[in-house]
Amino acid sequence: MQSRIFLVVCIAVAAAIFAFARWLGSEYLFFAGYVVVQFVVLATAWNILGGYCGYVNFGSAAFFALGAYTSVFFHKTYPLPVPLLILLGGIVSGIVGFGMGYLTLRLRGAFFAIATLALAVVLQTLIINWNYVGGSRGAYTIRPPSIDILGATLPYMQYLFLLMLLLAVVAIMAARTIERSRLGFGFATIRDDELAAEACGVPTLRLKLIATTLSGALMGMAGAPFPYYIAYIEPSSAFGLAYAVNSIAMPMIGGTGTWIGPLIGALLLGSIQEVARVTISSAVNLLIVGVLLVSFVIIAPNGIVGLVQDRLRARKK
Amino acid sequence: MDFPVELLINAIIAGVLLGGFYVAVTVGVSISFGMLDIVNIAHPAFIILGSYLAYILNSRMDVDPVLAGLLMLPVFYALGASIYQVYYVSFEMRGREALSGLAFFFGILFITEVALILVFGVDYRYVEAAYIGPTLRFAFVDLPYRLLVPCVLALTMLAVLQLYLSRTFVGRAIMAVSQDQGALALMAADPIKIKRIAFGISIATAALAGAFLIIIQPVEPSVGREYIGRVFAICVLGGLGSLPGTVIGAMILGIMESITATFYGPSWAPAVSFGFLLLTLAFRPSGLLGR
């Protein structure tokens, strides 16, 4: 499918989802839907580095929280419209991603993974000690009840949901474009055999830096509207382990290496968790994610997409 | 105001004691990450598990926490050996350590933490023993027993391990397995079996480290996360796979953290380990005593 047609399809689907949610008219749907779509963005972002290049990022929560706290900072200094905040959050997280990558990506992959884990702890320490954005007390970011766009009045929650939907379209488009470009092939060579790629003249360090920056920026963008969604933000919720584990589990369960894997994983796991949060408890739903992650990497390492491909191949024979 | 020398000396001594404890926490990762190339980021979770088991034994049956740690050694050894078996069959054999293997350990870390929260809640738990509380004093120098006991025992554990690794056949085989598996197989030693033993030992050290941890401070399930950065910082700083390097790294980090906590406040301490980790990775990735 051509990129332009694909973009039109994506926007049509997003518009249909939004219209459907409005037709159902339940506020809760927007609250729950926001979280699921946010995970679509996070999982797709993780997959650009993890799935395409094979470098594991455990610090998704850190990039996400950076975006969120960028918004908090501007909320206090000079309130800006949310789309602009999304852009700013993306820039800040992208810069941090680049710096991280520059320091650790010349080494073995494991070092990068460990450094990202530590990054989350340290950024959290910094935020806890930074009084201006609330420190460990947290900060209130009250969202206005509604907003006027293009002459229509939208409840603010629906506005945030719409923005997140558009962001998901952007993320998926970016991932799909990368997959089919020279850049994506370069990423794949790194994943399959970095030494051989380097020997063939693939500029591996530069490609890896592009991937970390892009992936970090998208995570930051996903985090930027979060303070307005949650209305009260504090470090341990913004840096919650749930973000780190979900953004790894969703692509791994859906299937890494293609744009559709993280999408399937995020929709599936995200919905299961929203249901489990309401019906059981929020601790149990995290346990479900952990157990699913471990069983999938052991039993079906290529995720749901891999399972489906195997099934199709078996039928052809 | 003149510079508080006594405070500084006390901070350094507390740092050395803390560093001794960090040796116990890190030695397992030194073996798994440094010698076996298994990036076991779930190690801190096993330490917390050890703390909670020590807590149960202590509060229900009044067992001394250190004794509890010793009692848990065989259990943790078996746990480690079986985890390695799963890891080998699912990832090493298929050549998937890099992505799936890391995700596997991350999943274990996560499951352990959430399971502990579900069973015990997020309250801080602590143990009781005669040496938690009193302090040994020389002039103005304080040596709290609750730090001194883990420090001495941890260094003893390290010495025993170092002797084991350098003097016995299995120990030398463990050191060799990271360098050349094929050559080891020619010596009639099964590399997989050697790795299983080594990983078992590495997890077994977490039992003792867990007992030490709960002696030093009250424990709740998410404490382990702070130790991930710390453990790998020490491991990389000292030089991968070098036990003496681990001691040096642990001492440096312990002293730096203790000084930071004393002069700038404890909420800054976690940032120290990360700073060290990044600096080491950027300027000397092979560590101080690296090969």
Task: List, in sequence order, every residue forming a beta bridge with B198; answer none if it has no partner.
Answer: none
Q: Which of A146-155, A251-260, B41-50, B112-121 has the lowest mean pLDDT?
A: A146-155
Query: pLDDT tens digits for A211-225?
Result: 999 999 999 999 999
Is ipTM beyond 0.90?
no
Q: Which residue of B has its CA nearest to A257?
A: B99
pTM of the model: 0.88
CA count, 13 A, side-chain hemisphere, A300: 19
Instruction: Give the residue with greater pLDDT, B55 vs A106.
Output: B55
Is the residue at A205 inside a domain?
Answer: yes
Q: Is A138 within 8 Å of A233 (Cβ atoms)?
A: yes
Q: Cβ B107–A113 below 8 Å, yes or no?
A: no
Is the residue at A276 inside a domain?
Answer: no
Q: At what angle do helices A82-104 and A109-129 cross, to 10 degrees?
A: 130
Q: What is the pLDDT of residue B290?
A: 61
- Answer whether residue B291 shows pLDDT above 60: no
Q: Which residues of chain B does A245 touch, with a Cβ-Cβ cutoff of 8 Å?
A: 106-107, 110
CB count within 10 Å of CB A186 equals 21
Is the residue at A310 inside a domain?
Answer: no
Q: Which residues of chain A does B117 touch, with a Cβ-Cβ cutoff of 8 Å?
A: 283
Please give the Cα distance from A136 to B86 (Å, whole number): 40
Q: What is the pLDDT of residue A150?
A: 75
Q: Is A96 on the interface with B (CB under 8 A)?
A: no
Q: Which residues of chain A does B115 touch, with a Cβ-Cβ cutoff of 8 Å?
A: 287
Q: Which of A74-83, A137-146, A186-195, B81-90 has the lowest mean pLDDT?
A: A137-146
Is the residue at A304 inside a domain?
Answer: no
Domain enclosing residue A185, as ranges: 3-244
Q: Is A83 on the interface with B (CB under 8 A)?
A: no
Choose among A117, A283, A297: nearest Cβ to B229: A117
Please give the Cα distance from A149 to A160 (Å, whole number): 12
For range A117-138, the mean pLDDT: 83
- Answer whether residue A252 shows pLDDT above 80: yes
To the nearest whole Å, the CA of A249 is away from the closest chain B CA by 8
Q: Predicted confidence band at A31 (pLDDT cuts at 50, 70, 90)?
A: confident
Is the residue at A25 inside a domain?
Answer: yes
Burial, A277: exposed, middle or buried (Cβ in 10 Å; 0-12, 13-18, 19+)?
middle
Is the residue at A223 inside a domain?
Answer: yes
Q: What is the pLDDT of residue A265?
A: 92
Q: Cβ B103–A297 below 8 Å, yes or no?
A: yes
Q: What is the pLDDT of residue A263?
A: 93
Name the domain count of chain A.
Answer: 1
- Answer whether residue A120 shows pLDDT above 70: yes
To the nearest whole Å, the CA of A104 is away from the closest chain B CA by 6
Q: Which residue of B has its CA nearest to A53?
A: B99
Choose among A107, A124, A287: nearest Cβ to B111: A287
Is the residue at A227 inside a domain?
Answer: yes
Q: Is A256 on the interface with B (CB under 8 A)?
A: yes
Percent residues over pLDDT 70 in chain A: 99
φ, ψ (nearest 5 deg) of residue B66 = -65, -40
Instruction: Give the residue with greater pLDDT, B87 vs A154.
Output: B87
Q: Which residue of B has its CA nearest to A297?
A: B100
Q: Is A14 within 8 Å of A142 (Cβ atoms)?
A: no
Q: What is the pLDDT of residue A1?
A: 66
Q: Predicted confidence band at B80 (pLDDT cuts at 50, 70, 90)?
A: very high
Q: What is the pLDDT of residue B160?
A: 93
Domain boundaries, chain B: 5-222
Q: Predicted confidence band at B207 (pLDDT cuts at 50, 70, 90)?
A: very high
Q: Cβ A294–B33 below 8 Å, yes or no?
A: no
Is the residue at A308 inside a domain?
Answer: no
DSSP string, A181-197: SHHHHHHHHHHH-HHHH
To the nearest whole Å, the CA of B120 is away from the closest chain A CA by 12
Q: Cβ A111–B285 below 8 Å, yes or no?
A: yes
Residue B76, classed as helix, strand or coil, is helix
- Least Cα distance to A259 among A150, A168, A182, A183 occurs for A168
Q: Is A72 within 8 Å of A134 (Cβ atoms)?
A: yes
Q: What is the pLDDT of residue B143?
A: 81
Q: What is the pLDDT of residue A284?
A: 81
Please give the Cα distance from B128 to A312 (Å, whole number): 61
Please give the Cα distance from A171 to B176 (Å, whole number): 46
Q: Predicted confidence band at A64 (pLDDT cuts at 50, 70, 90)?
A: very high
- Answer whether residue A157 shows pLDDT above 60: yes
Q: Which of A234-238, B68-72, B139-143 has the lowest mean pLDDT?
A: B139-143
Strands (E), B51-197: 135-138, 141-144
CA distances from A120 to A115, A116, A238, B38 (A): 9, 7, 11, 22
- Answer whether residue B289 shows pLDDT above 70: no
